[in-house]
Copies of this chain bind each other. A is one copy, B any other.
Amino acid sequence: MRVTLKQIAEKAGVHISTVDKVLHNRPGVSDAVRANVQQIIDELGYQPSKAGRTLQRMGKQYHIVVLLLNVDAKPYIMEGIRKAADESVFDIRIEAHSSDFQDVEHQEQMLRQTAESSCDGIILYPNYDRRIRTAIDEIVEKGIPVITVNSDIRESSRLCYVGQNGARGAYIAGRMMGLLTGGSGKTAVITSAISSENCDYHVATRKREFAAFIKKNYPDIRIVRDIESFENRQYTYDQTRKLLEEVPDLKGIYITCGCVDVVGKAVQEAGRAADVHIVSFEDYPEILELMDQNVIDCTIGSDLTDQGLRSMQIMMEYLVDGKKPDQKMMYIDSQILVRESIV
């Protein structure tokens, strides 16, 4: 049986409310008693009961602000956040806002506005930018916890990051490309925008680490093209067609970003689906469809819904129990998904 406040109080010969004051570092206890009680607490290894605390907090409503970027991942992350709120025993009010990708000003403005109004915590899918980092630091300074989801800002004072390990995903993708191509041949890499690294943290990491992995582990694979998509569908389609024409013996395409469907379409229309191995990220419907048609061989999923779920869980654990997460980085597993992985 777990040790309770009552047991500690008995052992210390004081009342349970005194123990409570010691526990929460509240005034109203003499130094002598405080020291004695503290020692007994340590000795017995007191762990507060979640059930008791939960019951106590029942009345309170929690107000969580969720700021996400308007990208493919958004609805999936949001779904997880709402699910966690529904499953929670507490009354959680979610205030959700979103801003466009790379619209740093807008996100920064929303952050500052949120800091003015009062809320209990912020879940943020951030743009990777210095201004956002500064805003986070100021908000945390005010005592409002911030959790980053899907993309991180490492140097900031956020409570923790919940999401994928970008490098790990890239290594797994690299391994899959090696296995699929037999470890040799020409490969192309498609990223959103090479230059604006700072605004698309994951895409940049996926590109960089994939290249490093291939160089080290599959020296016979040559990355013959680095294509930028600019997340523009028509442009990406055209570029892919051009690629296929110029490199008739292409064996692999690695896609770190969106617009996967038009890449698949281009490969299919060129009649090269059987020869060109495609590895992508996430498990959006259009990607699943292309896997179903055997155009995409595999995709690296990062369970976006679970990311949302976990971020809300961690937030509530902090707000209710005051418990900070063990790790500053809560990585969600990268899963290799093939056609048969899907239900």
Asked if A219 is an interface residue, CB under 8 A from chain B, the answer is: no
Q: Are A172 and B338 in contact (CB under 8 A)?
A: yes
The distance from the CB of A320 to the nearest CB of chain B, in whole angstroms, is 11
Complex CA–CA separation, A338 to B179 (angstroms): 10
Query: Across the interface, which residues of B come within 8 angstroms of A142, CB to CB?
Result: none
Among residues of B, the one whose C-beta sits closest to the C-beta of A336 is B336
For the complex, count residues of A whose C-beta is within 8 A of B: 34
Interface check A91, CB cutoff 8 A: yes
- Which residues of B have CB within 8 Å of A58? 49, 51
Which A137-194 residues sit within 8 Å CB-CB of chain B?
A: 168, 171-172, 174-176, 179-180, 182
Convert A102-128 into 0s and 1s, putting 1 for each residue whose CB lies closer than 8 angstroms to a CB of B: 000000000000000000000000000
On chain B, the residues within 8 Å of A213 by CB distance are 340
Nearest CB of B to A55, in Å: 5
Give CA–CA (A172, B340) in the complex, Å. Answer: 5
List which A52-71 residues lie within 8 A (CB) of chain B.
52, 54-55, 58-59
Measured CA separation A148–B337 after assembly (Å): 27
- The residues of B that contact A49 with a CB separation of less than 8 Å are 55, 58, 89
A11 within 8 A of B: no
**Contact at B335–A335, with CB atoms within 8 Å?**
yes
* Nearest CB in chain B to that of A47: its residue: B89
**B2 and A175 form a contact (CB under 8 A):** no
Q: Which residues of B contact A334 (CB under 8 A)?
A: 341
User: Is A241 in contact with chain B by the CB < 8 A criterion?
Assistant: no
Measured between beta carbons, the chain B residues less than 8 angstroms from A172 are 338, 340-341
A2 x B89 contact (CB < 8 A) = yes
Tell me whether A176 and B338 are in contact in the complex, defined as CB-CB below 8 angstroms, given that A89-B50, A91-B1 are known contacts.
Answer: yes
Against B, the Cβ 8 Å flags (1 = close, 0 = not) of A26-67 are 000000000000000000000001111011001100000000
Contact B179 A298 (CB under 8 A): yes
A261 within 8 A of B: no
Q: Return A63 CB to nearest CB of chain B, in Å.
A: 14
In the bound complex, residues from chain B placing their C-beta under 8 Å from that of A339 are 175
Residues of chain B contacted by A175 (CB below 8 angstroms): 338-340
Determine how close the nearest CB of chain B comes to the CB of A165; give it in whole angstroms: 10
Contact residues in B for A182 (Cβ distance below 8 Å): 182
In the complex, chain A residues 306-343 whose Cβ is within 8 Å of any chain B Cβ? 333-341
From A58, A297, A334, residue with most partner B Cβ within 10 Å: A58
Beyond A49-B58, A336-B338, 11 extra complex contacts between A and B, CB < 8 Å: A2-B89, A49-B89, A52-B55, A55-B55, A175-B338, A176-B338, A179-B277, A182-B182, A335-B335, A335-B336, A336-B337
Closest 7 CB pairs of A and B: A51-B54, A336-B336, A171-B340, A175-B338, A172-B340, A51-B55, A51-B51
